Amino acid sequence: MKNSYSSLSVAIADLQDHGFNEDFNLVGEGIESKTLKKQWKAGELDVIKFYRFEGMTDPGDNTILYLIEAHDGTKGLLVDAYGADQGEISPEMIKKLTIHYDE
């Protein structure tokens, strides 16, 4: 696991090699893995690290890659556009994904 990556695709490939294999998606109360057909609430997971990727010409290309580990040991990645409308996500999940710059 590196401190930074040149692109989102390079990061995903390397992090999958480090065991972050699940492809997580945001759902109302937390995240889900469609492959495992399982969901975790915000209190059942930890954000281990995140990486920012900024589009060179289009601000709409701004993305954050979250490394997430559920309390049951499941590890995976969540790709999310930042600055986008958060929709129907619980306040607990928004708090979990909030980036604290003093860490």
Query: Which tens digit of pLDDT belongs to each residue from 4-37?
Result: 999 999 999 999 999 999 999 999 889 999 999 9
In this model, does residue 101 exceed pLDDT 60? no
Residue 103 pLDDT = 47
Place of tokens 């929709």: 87
Where is pLDDT greater, at 56 or 2?
2
Question: Chain-centre distance of CA 99, in angstroms?
Answer: 11
Give the pair of three-digit tokens for residue 66: 């979250």
- How does the average pLDDT of the chain come out, rounded? 87
In this model, does residue 98 exceed pLDDT 90? no
* CB crowding 65-99: b at 16 or more within 10 Å, else e: bbbbbbeeebbbbbbbeeeeeeeebbeebeebbee
- CB under 8 Å to 31, separation ≥6 — which residues? 24, 25, 39, 40, 45, 68, 78, 93
Give the rounded percent of residues in the chain with a pLDDT score beyond 90: 61
Place of tokens 């999940």: 93
CB 69 within 8 A of CB 46: yes
Query: Which tens digit of pLDDT belongs to each residue from 43-90?
Result: 999 999 999 998 766 666 688 999 999 999 999 999 987 655 555 777
Alpha-carbon distance 31 to 79, whole Å? 11
